Structures are given as C-alpha cells and as structure tokens.
Structure 1
C-alpha cells in the first residue's frame, strides 16, 4: 500500500505576518527532510483517485473519505 502526503500552506505571502524570518527559512529544509525520510518516494505516479482514501483533520476530528465517494 502506498500513501500520498499533500502539504498545503496557503498563501506564502501571509507567512510574513505569522512566521518569524527563521521559521520561514526553515520550511524548505523541513520539506527536504520529509523527502529524505526512508520509504518516502517523491514524484511517483499514484493509482486513480477512486482507489484512494483521503484522511484529513477538521475541527480536531480525523475524517476519512473513500475515493469512490468523490465522484
């Protein structure tokens, strides 16, 4: 089984208000660390969306959605 990690961060310009300069500069290194984690394979093709399960957190609750229900 393979999983896809999608990291969204909104508008990078908004970081200026919320993150210090040090925190902003640390972000690319953190992405690189994820890519170098054993077992993580960046850029591979995934299976069709209908075979996927989406896991997300909303209002502190973990939600899972079967890929077939997106259609």
Structure 2
C-alpha cells in the first residue's frame, strides 16, 4: 500500500495534538476516519507509530523518527 499525503497530514496532526479525537476536530474529519488513516499508515510502513494510553497517544521511537 502506498503512503498518501492525507495519511501524513493526519499523522502530524495526531502527534501535535496528542489524540485522534482532537486531530479529527482540527482536520474536520471523523475520529474513525483519522483512526483508519493512522492504521493504514502503520500498515504501509510496517511500523507501530503510537503507544495508546486511554484516550492519549504517545509516539513511539519510530513515530518520533518519522515526525
């Protein structure tokens, strides 16, 4: 699967804001669309980009490197 600009834009928003819900609000997308884009990006790269802790997301070392 190819990485898209929408996935990268969403990834940057999630890292900057720290939550998928907040990133969804910022981007004007649904939370499920943001989750899907991040999941697709992780699938495309073969990397785990976030550690999940409740509603908060923390970038992994791979996520920080990508950021």
Per the normalisation by structure 2, the TM-score is 0.32
Quick one: higher RCO (CA 8 Å, sep 6+), 1 or 2?
A: 2
Per the normalisation by structure 1, the TM-score is 0.31
Q: Which has the higher helix share?
A: 2
Q: Which has the higher strand share?
A: 1
Instruction: Tell which structure's C-alpha radius of gyration is larger.
Output: 1
